[in-house]
Amino acid sequence: MSSDIPTDPYDSVLGLRVVRKYLDQPVTSDDQQAILEAGRWTGSAKNRQDWLFLVVDHPDQQVRLAGCGQFSQPLRDARFIVVPVRTPGGYEFDIGRVSQNMMLAGAARGVGSCPVTLHDEACSAAVLGLPPDHQARYALCFGYPDTDAEAELRASRSMGGRKPLDDLIVRNRF
C-alpha cells in the first residue's frame, strides 16, 4: 500500500477515495495516534473545538453501532472507528472538517477510511452513552485497505466519478 501513497499534498486531496474493505490486521497505535492528532489540530469556528473523538474498537460495540445506520457494513468490518462527537454549541461544518482531516491523515499513512451515517441518532446516543446535548451523526471507519476486496466491491456497484466542474461553478450569483 505504501507505494500508493501520494507524495504531493494536492494529489492526496484529489486522490482520497473511501475504503470499505480492510485487512484483518490491527491499525498500529502510532497510526491511530497520528489520525487522532490530525483531528486535534483541525481548525474550528472561533477555535472552539466543540468535539470529542470517541474511539470504538470492541467488535460487539461495532455491531451495536452498525445497527444505527442504514448503510453501515463498514462499521462491522472496520479495525477501529472514530466517532467525532459534536459537543454542545458545536457546528456540523467543523465535524466535517475534522473528519476529512482524519481521513487524509489516515491515507497519508496507508490507512483506508469510510464515513458512515448514523441515521438513527437516538440509537447512536444510546449505544455510545452520550451525555445530554452531545450528537453522534457520523462515524469514521479505519483499517489498512484490502485492495482486492475493495476492487471487487467497486466492480459490483457503480461507484465513483464526479460531476464536471463546469456544472458546479456559479460566479457572483445565480
CB-wise, 15 or 131, nearer to ligand FMN? 15
CB-wise, 75 or 125, nearer to ligand FMN? 75
**Interacting stretch for ligand FMN, rule CB under 6 A, among 41-49, 53-61, 69-77, 103-111?**
69-77
The three state secondary structure string of 37-75 is HHHHCCCCHHHCCCEEEEEECCHHHHHHHHCCCCCCHHH
Q: Answer yes or no whether residue 143 interacts with ligand FMN by CB under 6 A.
A: no
Work out the number of other CB atoms within 10 angstroms of the CB of residue 62. 22
Q: Answer yes or no whether residue 69 interacts with ligand FMN by CB under 6 A.
A: yes
Q: Which of 34, 122, 149, 148 is nearest to 80 (CA)?
A: 34
Q: Answer yes or no whether residue 105 interacts with ligand FMN by CB under 6 A.
A: no
Size of the site for ligand FMN (CB under 6 A): 13
**Interacting stretch for ligand FMN, rule CB under 6 A, among 26-34, 42-50, 59-67, 108-116?**
108-116
Give the residue carrying C-alpha cell 485492495. 147
Residues that bind ligand FMN (CB under 6 A): 17-18, 20, 69, 71, 74, 114-117, 138, 159-160
